[in-house]
Amino acid sequence: MEGMCTISGFSTAKSTQMHWYLLSSINYYHLADLSIPALYNVQGKTAVITGGGSGIGAMFASAYVQNGAKVYIASRKEKQLKEVSEALNKIGPGSCHYVVADLSSKAGCDALADNIKQKESKIHILVNNSGATWGAPFDK
């Protein structure tokens, strides 16, 4: 069998030996919880979602809040942001807060970052979602 299948220059037998060596010497599979609930757990995490007042951004916000995260949504229309925040805070168990921000300029992005920095020492998740969608005929 040796030499029939090579992985990164090792024969199958040697490669298997190497894997066993790594597994037994490092025991890396004991170092972290790699279960699906742990990998995707956002409980207690802090997220910033630009464009979170509508569409896909609001869906992100809803998913994070429903799974226990603290979420900041940021875009230009305060009325929309307020409505989404209030609706999500009723659902919980996480929370939703909003920051009015125009992210079309560096100054606007800096202002949002400064605002978040005043409230949080760190964020875990940034969903950079603000933007515009449009429809056009296929051949244009």
Ligand X SMILES: NC(=O)c1ccc[n+]([C@@H]2O[C@H](COP(=O)([O-])OP(=O)(O)OC[C@H]3O[C@@H](n4cnc5c(N)ncnc54)[C@H](OP(=O)(O)O)[C@@H]3O)[C@@H](O)[C@H]2O)c1
Q: Least distance from C-beta 67 to ligand X, angstroms?
A: 20
Q: Which residue from 11, 41, 56, 97 is in contact with ligand X, where contact means CB under 6 A?
A: 56
Helix (H) and strand (E) counts in the chain: 5, 6
82 contacts ligand X (rule: CB under 6 A): no
Binds ligand X by CB under 6 A, chosen from 16, 43, 77, 119 = 77
| Burial (Cβ within 10 Å: 0-12, 13-18, ≥19) of residue 8 | exposed
When binding is defined by CB under 6 A, the residue of 24, 133, 139, 140 that contacts ligand X is 133
User: What is the per-residue burial (b if ≥16 Cβ within 10 Å, else e) of 49-67?
Assistant: bbbbbbeebbebbbebbee
What's the start-to-end Cα distance of the chain, in Å? 57
CA–CA gap between residue 53 and residue 74 (Å, rounded): 7
129 binds ligand X (CB under 6 A): yes
Residue 55 touches ligand X, criterion: CB under 6 A:
yes
**Residue 75 in the binding site for ligand X (CB under 6 A):** yes
Dihedral over Cα of 73, 51, 116, 40: its sign: positive
**103 near ligand X, judged by CB under 6 A:** yes
- Phi (first) and psi of residue 49, to 5 degrees: -125, 110
Return the number of the residue (46 or 50) whose C-beta is nearest ligand X.
Answer: 50
Q: Tell whether residue 80 is a contact of ligand X (CB under 6 A).
A: yes
* Closer to ligand X by Cβ: residue 19 or 77: 77
Residues that bind ligand X (CB under 6 A): 50-51, 53-57, 75-77, 80, 101-104, 129-133
